Structure 1
Amino acid sequence: MIQDRLSAQPNASIPQASESWSQTKATYRFWDNPKVSAAGILEAHRSSVQERMLESGVVLAIQDTTDLNFTHHRSKNFESGFGLTSSQSYVWGLKVHTTFGVSGEGVPLGVLDQQVWSRDPAKSTSGKKHPKKSKTKSLKDKESLRWLQAQVASELDLPEGVALVTVADRESDIYELMAMPRGKGVHVLLRVCRNRTVDHPSKLLKAAIAQAPIAGTLTVTVSKRKGQGQREATLTVRHQRLTLKVPKNRPKSAQLCDLPMTVVSVEEEHPPEGCKAIHWLLISDIEIDSFEQACTLVQWYALRWLIERYHYVLKSGCQIESLQLETATRIIPALATYAIVAWRLLWLTYEARVHPQQSCEVAFETFEWQALFCRFHHQPKPPKKPPSLEQVVRWVAQLGGFLARKHDGNPGVKTLWRGLTRLHDIADTWRLAHD
């Protein structure tokens, strides 16, 4: 199966992962088949995502957009179905908007929706924006519509009893997204960008929430950033129920109404020297009445960065931008295939952290963990009982360069995708020798 071969060697080229000309040719033919669509590939994946949703109970539908840069491929141009991805007139590629399902515990569940498009360079003005023109443009003619379309797609066939919360960054601060009808148990949790008008003596959202009493303080771990190591941050939490007024520039035909929303402010008042202070202003239709509930919303939003890791795996781990497919019609189904491969890598990384003691056979074949056990214990016979998922993931990561020292913490996804390529060869040899 194509997906299995690519999952076994995610950062290998298609010929490397296929291991033969016939399998390589079959992979290219599959993506070139007009009957094969990206939607069809992801639909098959979606059924297994729904099963994991039922087990989770609360699902975070995290949305974000990324660019695939194919400028270095001279054949990939407008005539091949590609377009400009940024304000720079020489950057060619595709825009990708992903909705990524994550459990409330932080385990990736799968891809809920993925939209891919290219911009027409004929409509570009070398990156110069025209604010007056963009404000008068209807939402259905803007790229912003992707946020609403992804919301609708993530609700399709939602299992009964599962709560779905759309989580997104400041780019998603769109009144129509907050106001659109949603099914039972479906909510939004967005980061505020615009200082909207509210029903408060201060009139504006940011001033109103700043006057709310402090509900408490929350300590979080801030991951590594450029020039900064991992650190602890103490955050001041405020929350208040406010009603957002309909923006004045919306036409009456839009039939929008004022929205009662929960606003949560999270601010680091005394950051270490040289570190940028954390300040999140979140908005949600979920009603809360306690500090603990406000912290839950903050913790859910903190998981938003998982979609950034997902896009990182897609581009750096799966090498999607290095594919030698010449047209967008071939790239798009290939992207859908690799979208599932990238999810599995990230799922394996975090499943081993959240549920470490479960059997490794939820993710690995028997011959794979047996080969790993004997490789690291330098003995010819494996035990009858399979080891834990955490242990096997650490062995795989060690094959990829993880040192596994006491202070090293959990292995990351990068060492994991490197290790899986080596595991593929080791396990295949083991199986041949023990059949």
Structure 2
Amino acid sequence: MRIVEDLASQPSSSVPQACGNMAATCAAYDFWSSPYFEPDDIRKAHVRSSIERIKSHEIVLAIQDTTNIDLTNHPSTTGVGYLDHQKLSGLKVDSTLASTIDGVPLGIIDQQVWTRPRENLGIAKKRRQRETQEKESQRWLDSLKTTQQLIPKENMVVTMGDSEADIFDLFSLKRPENSHLLIRGTHNRKVDHTAQYLHQAIRQTQPCGLLSVEIKRNPEQNPRIANLILRFATLEVCVPANHLARSQLKPVKLQVILAQEENPPDGVEAISWLLLTTIEICRFEQAARCVKWYTYRWLIERYHYTLKSGCGIEKLQLETGRRIEMALATYSIVAWRLLWITYQARLHPDESCDTVLEAHEWQSLSATINKHPIPPKNPPSLQQAVRMIASLGGFLGRKSDGEPGVKTIWRGLRRLHDIAATWKLTHSTFKANGCS
């Protein structure tokens, strides 16, 4: 807990800077090297807290995605494998992030880490000749099983994934009544329709309505509003002809949604989302709800971005892949906390900031921003506090800037740590000397 608190207070700092002294730094490194603990020991505590937060929400989204921890620039690190290119080395990480249906991240509920042995480079080319459990795509099925075991039966959970999750075995997997799938489709599978194939069949369906969705900023485009024409249909998807266990499987009935943008801005590629879901869809509003939920899939990408760019997991110079994984499990909690603060402030702006900040933190923050030595008697709202933190990180707060992002918040938290520490020290000294 102490290590997480230190790292969370200065997420973009080095481990020695965040820990503050040699003893705390050595303790962090010793903990990551300890043979008595495993990465899952760290994750389990966070998962338990995540499940407690999930219990208060009728419906939750379980957003899954895979990323690389690229350690190519640390050639002396042992226990790593090749990544998407044979010259790149590091760890593969698959995370499942729980979120509310309004886009507030509730925590990590599953995380799988593995290495690709270099002797398997030739085997990867023959992946179609192997069953799913022998492939990396098995991670989607394993995560779904874990999610279904953890989420209480009283809560509905919708597992979401991008086109990598378009796996027939995932759709055919037995699920309890409270578990559903919402997956970005890519394969043009054979279906029970006169058009015979999925892509053609859904395009022959009549549009059911127009939906406006917010497209978030990414490295390739600015944020914007996209107007999407929706189509939906119920189709029976056939077992793939090349599936090794074809005789043991049956066709799967799925709801298919096609969301297309017909008039995108100049120079912008039109959105075209083919979504496959097990959720019942009988009318436009139900299809629109699924499309809206899918727009929150980018949260897992922001989580991985925060983990790498904000927490600097790829910059850690640890000697082994196991130590990196121990650090990863620790920083996973830090990255979630950064995301949670960011989006909690957007959706619950009037909530008091003392749910996130300690008294000496919000008091020193208010005094610094307001340039007044006496802080207010009552804590500011969460939105006000987050905007003040972001201003320490370079956020200007202009009308055109919108709400602050994760990057300026983690920069601001680093400065706030120093400010709050000085405030706490000076006020403790004043009290000790009998000053009010």
TM-score by length of 2: 0.95
- The aligned residue for residue 405 of structure 2 is 412
1:27-426 equivalences under 5 Å are: 27-76=28-77, 80-86=78-84, 88-125=85-122, 130=125, 133-226=126-219, 228-252=221-245, 255-426=248-419
- Kindly provide the amino acid, as one letter, of the partner of residue 52 in structure 1: R
How far did residue 120 of structure 1 move? 0.8
Taking the aligned partners of 1:326 and 1:381, their CA distance within structure 2 comes to 47
Measured against aligned partners, the alpha-carbon deviations of 1:346-374 in whole angstroms (never above 9, x if no partner) come to 01100000111011011110111111111
- Kindly provide the amino acid, as one letter, of the partner of residue 83 in structure 2: T
- Kindly provide the amino acid, as one letter, of the partner of residue 97 in structure 1: D
Point out where structure 1 has 5 or more consecutive residues left out of the alignment: none
How far did residue 213 of structure 1 move? 1.1
Taking the aligned partners of 1:239 and 1:341, their CA distance within structure 2 comes to 39
SS across alignment from 1:124: helix
Point out where structure 2 has 5 or more consecutive residues left out of the alignment: 429-436
Task: Indicate if the aligned counterparts of 2:393 and 2:412 stay in contact, CA closer than 8 A.
Answer: yes
Taking the aligned partners of 2:14 and 2:202, their CA distance within structure 1 comes to 51
Task: Indicate if the aligned counterparts of 2:239 and 2:246 stay in contact, CA closer than 8 A.
Answer: no
TM-score by length of 1: 0.96
- The aligned residue for residue 421 of structure 2 is 428
Number of residue pairs aligned between Structure 1 and Structure 2: 427
How far did residue 224 of structure 1 move? 3.1
Taking the aligned partners of 2:3 and 2:390, their CA distance within structure 1 comes to 23
Taking the aligned partners of 1:307 and 1:190, their CA distance within structure 2 comes to 14
How far did residue 100 of structure 1 move? 0.8
- Kindly provide the amino acid, as one letter, of the partner of residue 13 in structure 1: S
How far did residue 225 of structure 1 move? 4.2
Taking the aligned partners of 1:373 and 1:123, their CA distance within structure 2 comes to 56
- The aligned residue for residue 17 of structure 1 is 18
Q: Percent identity?
A: 47
CA separation of 1:129 and 1:100: change in aligned 2, threshold 3 A: same
How far did residue 251 of structure 1 move? 3.9
Taking the aligned partners of 1:295 and 1:164, their CA distance within structure 2 comes to 18
Taking the aligned partners of 2:140 and 2:221, their CA distance within structure 1 comes to 32
SS across alignment from 1:101: strand
RMSD: 1.4
SS across alignment from 1:218: strand
How far did residue 254 of structure 1 move? 6.7
How far did residue 377 of structure 1 move? 1.5
SS across alignment from 1:288: coil
Taking the aligned partners of 2:413 and 2:400, their CA distance within structure 1 comes to 23
Task: Indicate if the aligned counterparts of 2:259 and 2:273 stay in contact, CA closer than 8 A.
Answer: yes
Taking the aligned partners of 1:410 and 1:204, their CA distance within structure 2 comes to 44
Task: Indicate if the aligned counterparts of 2:240 and 2:246 stay in contact, CA closer than 8 A.
Answer: no
- The aligned residue for residue 431 of structure 2 is none
SS across alignment from 2:30: helix
SS across alignment from 1:364: coil
5-14 vs 180-189, greater mean Cα deviation: 180-189
Task: Indicate if the aligned counterparts of 2:153 and 2:178 stay in contact, CA closer than 8 A.
Answer: no
